[in-house]
Chains A and B, each alone.
Chain A
Amino acid sequence: MDENRSPLITAENISRTFRSAKKESGFRGTVKLLFRPQYQVAEALKKINFSIMPGSFVGLIGANGAGKTTLLKILSGLIPPTTGQARVLGFEPFSRTKEFRKQIALVMGQKAQLWWDLPALDAFDLIRAIYEIPSSIYKKRLDLLTDLLDVQAHLGTQIRRLSLGERMKMEIIGALLHWPKVVFLDEPTIGLDVLAAHKLRKFLLEFNRIEKATIILTSHNMEDIERLCPRILILRSGELIYDGPPARLTEKGVRRLRVRLIETPTITELSQASGVAVDDIRKGDGEEIGREHSESDAFYFSVKHEEVVRVLESLLKRFRIVDMGLEEESLERVIHRIYEGKI
């Protein structure tokens, strides 16, 4: 079988539930918890299906609690799915065979994996021993990684004394020294400054391109997703609601027409006047990404590029326009609407 043509990662009907004790507030709640505990079950993932080919760079996105980290934990073998089956590199992840563990890496942006009190170099030396990396190869990789991430000067510094960005870079190096075939990255750019995040993204792209490593990345930073991932999976409340390229979400040719009027018409009136569907018109609510509160009285029309002039002409017949602008739909805005359940 040609290895390159079969998926490296598959998820078949993966569901995962978590049971936890429900505690009511106050003393009575504490006593009740002690003698008659009640449990609640949360469905973190609901029948997830997808497959990923070798060498892919896939973004996994979703609002907090959507199930992204749970999915990564299942794929990396930390927890089993409640139902369904996952396969990674031909292994059932939760069986965590030594062979499997040697070929994967999981980096959690919020969880330190290196030893806090030791210099990074000591930690890397232990990782070299754990993964049985020959000294010459280890040295070459370490030089390459520290050079790419620009942290040579900090190798002898205790991890706890490093800045967040430097620590994150060390975590990434520690996770990649054994040259894993599959890398799970859970918010790797969290807390990084613009330059550090840029360097890390550049490095990940290179690692994916040159080493043909399969990378799955979760991030709340849409720049990470747009720049790195040709394919994204979107989770909402444990359900996989989108699987495809990010570009399809922003739909080429669709523009956001921003209009401020002297009058204050309803959305229905605007729809009647412009011929644009009610669902494609929004009133700015002051929470628009990157917008000031002064835009809260603006209306936003999602229209095809070639219809912009016609819509404007129609609006001008009924209303007086005081301000207008035209912009492309950004991925961040689309995702924002998806999280809100408006798409």
Chain B
Amino acid sequence: MSLGWRIGALSNGFREATIYRFEFLIEVFGSAFVPAAIQMVLWYALFNLAGATTVAGYSYADLISYTLVSILFTQIRGGDHDFDLSEMIRSGRLSNHLLRPVSVVEFVYLRGVAPKLFIAGVCLVIGLSIGYYYGLSPARMVGAMFLALLGNIIHYQIGAALSTAAFYWEEAYSMLMVKNMIVHLLSGELIPLNLFPPSMQWIWKSTPFYLYVYGPTQYALGRWSNLVFFQSVVIAFLWLFVGYLLVRVSWKLGIKKYLSLGG
């Protein structure tokens, strides 16, 4: 396995993402604080205006701490490189990549994930600092970040497989949008997933999305045991394997339909 081009792709992707520094910072802070602000307003309304004392076993302080820590992992959640893939297929820009002696799917991922890795590093430092102040375990914070990074890969694999719909129908945008909306809901970035009614918990448990934000947050906050964490890591690796197969098969079939339009 050649590391050279992979490091090159990461470095190149990072340079591209940060070339417009202001845009980069807006994206990071905007995507972090807007959902957090919405949650804060919601928890305030529930506890201070409606007079609730606990919601599904969570106190006001619990939910605030969930919201704050989940921001760190929401930043790591997969980006939109799957949209890039589908657009490349549709427009014929994929041709540029197909003739290079590297895997297109991996190449696009590495270039896209580069800034996320940087952000993951920053978030980890922030998490460790906050954890030190509030008495959270640093080992748990590192483990949680690791799980979030596995989630990032799974998210891309699912998107990369779905993007192959563009080989058949030219457009896969709506499908990827719907996937992202489901992810927003089931990853735990908007609400803790145990606020779901018990009869509906199976929904998020049967997808890998809870490994993106909810799982890491629960583990970092000490609400998951080590055993549950290790089980989740194993589940994440199983999903990675399934994702790998999905990508392999969908691209192998889809590429036969590629028209290389334009030019």
Do A and B share a complex?
Answer: yes
Q: Are B95 and A111 in contact (CB under 8 A)?
A: yes
Q: Find out whether the CB atom of A76 lies under 8 angstroms from the CB atom of B12.
A: no
Query: Taking the complex as formed, is A101 at the interface, i.e. its CB lies under 8 A from any CB of chain B?
Result: yes
- The verdict on A132 contacting B12 (CB below 8 Å), with A80-B256, A101-B100, A104-B99 known, is no
- Selected A-B contacts with CB under 8 Å, 30 pairs: A18-B259, A78-B95, A78-B99, A78-B258, A78-B260, A79-B258, A101-B101, A104-B99, A108-B95, A110-B262, A111-B93, A111-B96, A111-B262, A111-B263, A113-B96, A117-B16, A117-B20, A118-B15, A122-B15, A125-B8, A126-B8, A126-B9, A129-B8, A129-B9, A130-B5, A130-B100, A131-B101, A132-B2, A132-B4, A158-B19
Name the CB-closest residue of A to B17: A117
A79 to chain B: which residues have CB within 8 Å? Answer: 258-260
What B residues does A80 contact at CB under 8 A?
256
Known: A118-B15, A126-B8, A130-B100. 9 other contacts (CB 8 A): A18-B259, A102-B101, A104-B99, A110-B262, A117-B20, A126-B5, A126-B12, A128-B8, A132-B2
Q: B95, A117: Cβ atoms under 8 Å?
A: no
The interface residues of chain B lying within 8 Å CB-to-CB of A102 are 101
- Chain B residues with a Cβ under 8 A of chain A: 2, 4-5, 7-9, 11-12, 15-16, 19-20, 92-93, 95-96, 98-102, 256, 258-260, 262-263
B92 nearest in chain A by CB position: A111
- 1/0 per residue, CB under 8 A from B, across A77-116: the answer is 1111000000000000000101001101110101111010
Contact bitstring A121-161, B, C-beta under 8 A = 1, else 0: 01101101111100000000000000000000000001000
Q: Is A189 an interface residue (CB 8 A)?
A: no
Per the bound structure, the CA–CA distance linking A96 and B263 in Å amounts to 20
Number of interface residues of A (CB under 8 A): 34
Closest to A128 in B: B8
Residues of A within 8 A of B262 (CB): 110-111
Q: How far is the CA of A111 from the CA of B92 in the complex (A)?
A: 9
Fill in one digit per residue for A49-83: 1 if any B CB lies within 8 Å of its CB, else 0.
00000000000000000000100010011111000
Q: How far is the CB of A93 from chain B (nearest CB, A)?
A: 10
Find out whether the CB atom of B5 lies under 8 angstroms from the CB atom of A77.
no
Asked if A186 CB lies within 8 Å of chain B CBs, one says yes
A130 and B19 within 8 A (CB): no
B92: A residues at CB distance < 8 A: 111
B20 to chain A: closest residue by CB: A117
A322 to B179, CA, bound (A): 77
- In the complex, number of A-B residue pairs with CB atoms less than 8 Å apart: 75
Interface centre among A113, A115, A117, A129 (most CB of B within 10 A): A129
- Residues in B with CB closer than 8 Å to A132 are 2, 4-5
CA distance A108 to B93 in the complex (A): 11
Contacts of B11 in A (CB 8 A): 126
Quick one: which of A96, A108, A130 has the most chain B CB within 10 A?
Answer: A130
Pair A117/B19 contact, Cβ less than 8 Å: yes
Interchain CA distance A67-B11 in the complex, whole Å: 39
Smallest CB-CB A-B distances: 6 pairs: A129-B8, A108-B263, A101-B101, A113-B96, A78-B260, A126-B12
Asked whether A98 lies within 8 Å of B101 as measured between CB atoms, the reply is yes
Chain A residues whose CB sits within 8 angstroms of the CB of B7 once the complex forms? 129
**B102 adjacent to A130 (CB under 8 Å):** yes
Given known pairs A108-B263, A111-B263, A129-B7, the reply for A101 and B16 (CB within 8 Å) is no
How many Å lie between the Cα of A67 and that of B90 in the bound state?
A: 20
Partner of A125, one of B12, B96, B256: B12
User: Closest residue to A123 on the B side, CB-wise?
Assistant: B12
Assembly CA distance A130 to B96 (angstroms): 13
Is B263's CB under 8 angstroms from A110's CB? yes
B12 x A122 contact (CB < 8 A) = yes
